[in-house]
């Protein structure tokens, strides 16, 4: 008398976040009606269910149960091959228990979260930042880092230009951004830059088993992360110091202006007393008495014309630009696991100069948001990394007439808004601001 069990598949292939099923057939080799209970053992136990949980068989008969595997989309389910075992225990004869085993192949996926801390740094010459990388996938990745600025004015120095990050590990690397020269005085200079992190899958996972069917190539869901940063360069002599020096100089000049008449009067009185003393001693003739000064004759036509003050703007001048401030709101809504895109089309005969972009993920959705300005990909952002995010450009980005400003959302999982009840769909809001001008003719 014995208990035996056979697997339907030698190897089970499952993707994290997905579902796979297989069948386990049990043979009752005893001479009594027996009930069998099942217990999943091993690393697959937390996310594997046996249906039904109890099976009754007559002597010499066979019966099957279904195993449902639902590995989470997280580092808790590392890519590669994992053994799966089920303890089959007869209720009446527990000493005849059997533990059949098979192999589960977990597919790899990539999910890298990256950010810059701080995003903006105030400095006279060099700003110091930390590039933070968190591998939320289930396979190791190599992450090359490439800092750059549009004007190519800054010089960058990275402690490491390529990092390997294991699943669920978080690493940081020091970045220094240096301005071309010191700014002695004037207004602060804002220089934006980006750091591109391009995760590359490390192909060291277990080989795909024979007969398991085609598997997607590792890293198909990877995308570059563009981290926005800014160096806020301060002048050595700030405005308040220049204003203080100007005030001190004005006070010194005012003091000399007030004291000069008193000094000249004292010197004149001392000279006159000395001259009179010399005259009494016969050494010098008495000094001539000063004649009263005659007022200067007024020239004919002495009325001066009243003119405008220097730098006055002539009446009726118009310095307003040929366009005006403009903003538009794009709302993108899609179901979980779906994708949607919503555009704003620039009107005919206009050019949209974009300076500000504000993003809102108020539900805390999970997925990917891609932003396009006139066919140019501006940024790709993981939704779970933010609730509110804003971008500002010193140099506006021009979108020509009939060009599109597009927000595209790939929704993995709708979030939970402040109401406390999970949303049925992903909802993202983009507010784009700038100046809408006529096309020059």
3-state secondary structure 293-351: CCCCCCCCCCCCCCCCCCCCCCCCCCCCCCCEEEEEEEEEEEECCCEEEEEEECCCCEE
Residues 229 and 120 in one domain: yes
**Whether the bond into 52 is cis, omega within 30 of 0:** yes
Look at residue 32 and tell me if it is in a domain. Answer: yes
Which stretches in the chain have pLDDT values below 50?
Answer: 205-220, 284-322
d(CA 422, CA 424): 7
Residues 99 and 119 in one domain: no
Q: What is the pLDDT of residue 224?
A: 86
Q: What is the pLDDT of residue 417?
A: 87
Q: What is the pLDDT of residue 280?
A: 66
Residues 135 and 79 in one domain: no
Look at residue 208 and tell me if it is in a domain. Answer: no
Residues 100 and 133 in one domain: no
Residues 88 and 141 in one domain: no
CATH of the domain at 328: 2.60.120
Residues 78 and 150 in one domain: no
Look at residue 410 and tell me if it is in a domain. Answer: yes
Residues 98 and 119 in one domain: no
CATH of the domain at 95: 2.60.40.10
Residues 102 and 135 in one domain: no
Look at residue 249 and tell me if it is in a domain. Answer: no
**Total number of domains constituting the chain:** 3
Look at residue 100 and tell me if it is in a domain. Answer: yes
CATH of the domain at 150: 2.60.40.2310
Q: Of 60, 82, 106, which residue sits at a domain end?
A: 106
Q: Of 106, 124, 159, which residue sits at a domain end?
A: 106
d(CA 319, CA 331): 35
Q: What is the pLDDT of residue 184?
A: 86
- Grouping H, G, I as helix, E, B as strand and the rest as coil, residue 283 is coil
Residues 39 and 135 in one domain: no
Residues 101 and 129 in one domain: no
Look at residue 319 and tell me if it is in a domain. Answer: no
21: containing domain: 3-106
Q: What is the pLDDT of residue 107?
A: 94
Q: Which two tokens stand for residue 129?
A: 């930042």
Give the Å distances, CA to CA, from 52 to 35, 37, 38, 106.
12, 9, 9, 24
Q: What is the pLDDT of residue 264?
A: 65
Q: What is the pLDDT of residue 220?
A: 45
Q: What is the pLDDT of residue 289?
A: 47
Residues 82 and 13 in one domain: yes
77: DSSP letter: S
Look at residue 304 and tell me if it is in a domain. Answer: no
d(CA 295, CA 301): 17
Look at residue 268 and tell me if it is in a domain. Answer: no
Q: What is the pLDDT of residue 240?
A: 74
pTM above 0.75, yes or no: no
Q: Supply angle C-alpha 191, 193, 196, rounded to 5.
A: 175
d(CA 196, CA 427): 27
Residues 66 and 167 in one domain: no
């Amino acid at each position: 008398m014995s208990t035996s069990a056979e697997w339907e598949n030698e190897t089970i292939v499952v993707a994290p976040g997905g579902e796979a099923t297989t069948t386990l057939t049990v043979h009752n080799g005893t001479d009594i009606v027996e009930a069998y209970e099942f217990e999943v053992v091993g690393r697959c136990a937390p996310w594997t269910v046996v249906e039904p949980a109890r099976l009754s068989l007559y002597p010499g008969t066979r019966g099957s149960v279904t195993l449902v595997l639902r590995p989470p989309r997280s580092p808790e389910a590392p890519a590669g091959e994992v053994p799966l075992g089920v303890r089959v225990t007869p209720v009446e004869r527990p000493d005849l228990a059997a533990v059949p085993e098979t192999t589960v192949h977990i597919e790899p996926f990539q999910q890298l979260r990256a950010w810059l801390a701080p995003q903006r740094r105030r400095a006279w010459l060099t700003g110091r930042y930390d590039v933070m990388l968190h591998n939320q996938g289930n396979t190791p990745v190599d992450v090359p880092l490439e800092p750059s600025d549009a004007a190519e004015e800054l010089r960058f120095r990275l402690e490491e230009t390529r990092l390997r990050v294991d699943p669920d590990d978080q690493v940081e690397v020091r970045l220094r951004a240096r301005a071309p020269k010191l700014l002695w005085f004037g207004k602060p200079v804002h220089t934006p830059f980006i750091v591109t992190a391009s995760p590359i899958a490390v192909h060291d996972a277990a080989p795909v088993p024979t007969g398991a069917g085609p598997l997607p190539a590792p890293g198909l869901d990877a995308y570059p992360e563009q981290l926005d940063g800014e160096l806020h360069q301060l002048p050595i002599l700030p405005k308040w110091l220049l204003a203080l020096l100007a005030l001190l100089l004005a006070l010194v000049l005012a003091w000399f202006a007030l004291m000069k008449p008193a000094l000249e009067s004292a010197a004149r009185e001392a000279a006159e007393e000395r001259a009179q003393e010399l005259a009494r001693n016969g050494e010098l003739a008495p000094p001539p008495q000063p004649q009263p000064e005659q007022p200067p004759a007024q020239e004919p036509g002495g009325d001066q014309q009243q003119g405008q003050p220097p730098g006055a703007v002539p009446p009726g001048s118009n310095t307003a630009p040929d366009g005006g401030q403009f903003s538009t709101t794009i709302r993108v809504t899609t179901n979980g696991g779906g994708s949607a895109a919503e555009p704003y089309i620039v009107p005919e005969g206009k050019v949209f100069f974009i300076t500000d972009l504000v993003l809102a993920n108020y539900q805390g959705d999970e997925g990917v948001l891609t932003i396009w300005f006139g066919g140019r990909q501006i940024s790709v952002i993981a939704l779970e990394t933010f609730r509110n995010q804003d971008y500002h450009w010193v140099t506006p980005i021009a979108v020509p007439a009939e060009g599109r400003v597009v927000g595209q959302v790939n929704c993995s999982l709708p979030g939970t808004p402040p109401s406390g009840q999970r949303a049925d769909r992903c909802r993202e809001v983009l507010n784009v601001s700038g100046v809408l001008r006529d096309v020059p003719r």
